[in-house]
Structure 1
Amino acid sequence: MTETEIAISTRQVRVGLGHVRVRVTGQGEPLVLIMGIGGHLDMWTPLADQLPGRQLVMFDFPGTGGSTAPWFPPTMFHGALFVRLLLSRLGLQQVDIVGYSWGGLLAQAFAAQHPGKVRKLILACTGPGPICVPADPRVAARLLTPRRYYSSAYLAKIAAQTYGGEFRRQPGLVRAEAARRVDHPPGWIGYMWQLIAAGTFSVIPFAHRIKHPTLVLGGDDDPIVRTANQYFLHRILSQSEVQVIEKAGHLMLVDSPSTLAPIMETFLSAEEA
C-alpha cells in the first residue's frame, strides 16, 4: 500500500458483490480492528487516537455502518472469508488483529481458517461462542435487537447495567457513545445475520489451529461476557495470555482507551520467543 493510499481517510472498497466502508490510518505494522455486533468503524475513534504508531485498518462489516448488506451466508467462516478478501483488496498479506466482542469471534474464525494471514491476536471482551458462561438473561435480551443504535435515550437507560465499567460512573461517556452510534446504525437484516453467525460458531473444535501469540483481555465488571469465558479461552488457546482489568466493563476499549492502549502496544511490540 502506498503512502498516498494510507493518507486516504475513509472510502468505499468493493469486496465480492458488495461495497465496504473502510478507513486506513497511520503507518507501521498493520493492525486490523474488528468491531462488536452492529458496530461501525467510527466507534473505534477513542482507541485509535491512542495508537498513533500503527497502521490501523477499520471497516464496517457488511450490513452495518456504511457497508452494503451481506452477500454471503450468515456464518463466521463466511465472514472470515470476507475479511481475507478485504485484506487482499487492501494489499495486506499478514496483520495483527484486535477482535472486540462479536468481532473477537470473527477474529478467532479468521485465525483458524487463514492462520498464515495473522501474526498476533488480541481478543477483547469475547468468549468461545455459545458454549460459555452466559450473561444475565435480561442483559442478553437487550442484545437481540439493534435498538440501542437507534435511540440515544434507550442507550442511556440501559448503558450502566448492560456495559458496566466506566458507564456506571461517567454519564458523559454514554452521551458520547450514543452520538457515535446513532450516526451509522446497522441494518436490521445485517444485525440479524450477525446474531446467527455468533449463535452458530464455537471456537472449541478449531482452537488447536490457533497457534498465534494471543492476548485475551477482559473486564471484571463486564455484564455481557463474564471473565470465566476469558479464562476458558486462555486454557484452550495454546499460545495465549490473559489479563483481566479491574473495574473495567464490556466497552473498556472505548471507555478506557488510555489504560488499554499501552497494554495492547506492549503485547504487539514484544519479540516472539
Structure 2
Amino acid sequence: MKDAVVSMKEVGGRTLRVATWRLDEPSDHPPILFFNGIGANIEAVAPLAAALSERAFIMFDMPGVGESPDPVVPYNPFTISWTASQLLNALDVDEVDVMGISWGGGIAQHFTMQHPGRTRRLVLIATSAGMLMIPGSPKALSKMANPRRYVDADYMIKNFETLYGEGLGKTSGKKSHMSLLKPPSPRGYMYQLLCMLGWTSAPALPFLLRKKTLIMMGDDDAIVPLANGKFLSWLIPNSEMVVMKGGGHLFLLSHKDESVKAIREFLDAVPSEIELEEAA
C-alpha cells in the first residue's frame, strides 16, 4: 500500500492492524474514518485512500480479519464503535468524516449516532439499515455467507458475478481485486457475522442521525439491492442519494472515477445551516 503507515496498535483492550494515509500532513479537511465490508482487509479499499489524496485516511482490520489477531471475546456495534473512538484518541484526531461499505456501513451508522461530536459528515456505500433490509438474491446471499470465498480463489472467481453483480463481475478488475484480499480467520469471520445479528438502525435514524449523509448504491447489486438505499434515504433526514448505473456490490471499484467524484463533491460541499450551528 503506497504511502500508507501501517502499525499494530493496542486499542481498548484489542490489538488492531491500523493503516493511515497523510495523517501528519496539513489539510483543510478532516480525516476519513473508513469501516470495511465483512471479511475484507485494509488493502481491499486502499485504492480509495490513494484516490482521495487531499485527505487523511484511517482504516483498521477488524479482529480476526487481515492481520489483526483473532478476537478473544465477541464484539457488537457499540463496542467496536467505542474501540474506533479510542483509536482516534490514540491518533490525536478529534473530528472525522465517516465512511462505511456494506457491513461496514452499519458500523458507520452506529458510530455516527454514538459519537456525533466526532463526526462531521457520513458516506454510506452499498449498505442497509441492518436486519430491517430488503434481502438480496438467495443465490448471492448463500455464497456471501460462505467464508470459502476468501480462502478459495477459484471459488471466488467462479462466483464473482453472482456475488458482486455485472458491474465488476465482467471486468478484468476482478482478478486484481482478488489479489488484494486475505482470508479472515474462521473465528474472525464468525464474530463479524454475529456482531450485526439482530441489529438495525431503522428506529433510531430519524431521531439520532442528524449528520449530512451521502448514500451511494448500485442498481445491479445482488447483495444489497437499491431499495435499501431508498429506505435509508427516507429514514435519514439530512441525506442525499447517488445511484451508480450498472453498478454491482463493488461499484466503488468498477465505477471508481464516478464514485470518487461523488464522494469528493459531497465532502467539499458548502456547510449547511445546521452544520454551521453545530460548529458554533
Aligned residues of 1:104 and 1:123 also touching (Cα < 8 A) = yes
Output the amino acid matched with 1:196: L
SS at match of 1:80: helix
Partner of residue 3, structure 1: none
Match among 5, 24, 47 for residue 9 of structure 1: 5
Stretch deviating more after TM superposition (257-266 or 20-29): 20-29
Identity %: 32
Query: What's the RMSD between the two structures over aligned residues?
Result: 1.4
- Cα distance, 1:8 vs. partner? 6.2
CA distance in 1 between counterparts of 2:88 and 2:73 reads 17
Normalised by the length of structure 1, the TM-score is 0.93
Output the amino acid matched with 2:183: P
Partner of residue 184, structure 2: 186
1:201 aligns with 2:202: no
Partner of residue 142, structure 1: 143
Normalised by the length of structure 2, the TM-score is 0.90
CA distance in 2 between counterparts of 1:200 and 1:77 reads 13
Partner of residue 276, structure 2: none
> 1:46-125 residue pairs with structure 2 within 5 A?
46-125=47-126
- Cα distance, 1:49 vs. partner? 2.3
Aligned residues of 1:9 and 1:23 also touching (Cα < 8 A) = yes
1:35 aligns with 2:33: no
Unaligned residue ranges in structure 2 (runs of 5+): 273-280
Q: Residues 26-73 of structure 1: CA distance to partner in whole angstroms, max 9, x if unpaired?
A: 243201111100011111122222111010111111121111222453
Partner of residue 17, structure 2: 21
Unaligned residue ranges in structure 1 (runs of 5+): 1-6
CA distance in 2 between counterparts of 1:49 and 1:121 reads 19
Partner of residue 4, structure 1: none
CA distance in 2 between counterparts of 1:255 and 1:48 reads 16
Aligned residues of 2:168 and 2:253 also touching (Cα < 8 A) = no
1:214 aligns with 2:213: yes
SS at match of 2:75: coil
The number of equivalent residue pairs is 264
Aligned residues of 2:214 and 2:239 also touching (Cα < 8 A) = yes
Output the amino acid matched with 1:233: L
Name the CA shift for 1:93/1:47 in 2 (closer, same or farther; >3 Å): same
Larger relative contact order (Cα-Cα within 8 Å, sequence gap ≥ 6): 1
CA distance in 2 between counterparts of 1:265 and 1:71 reads 38
CA distance in 2 between counterparts of 1:89 and 1:20 reads 12
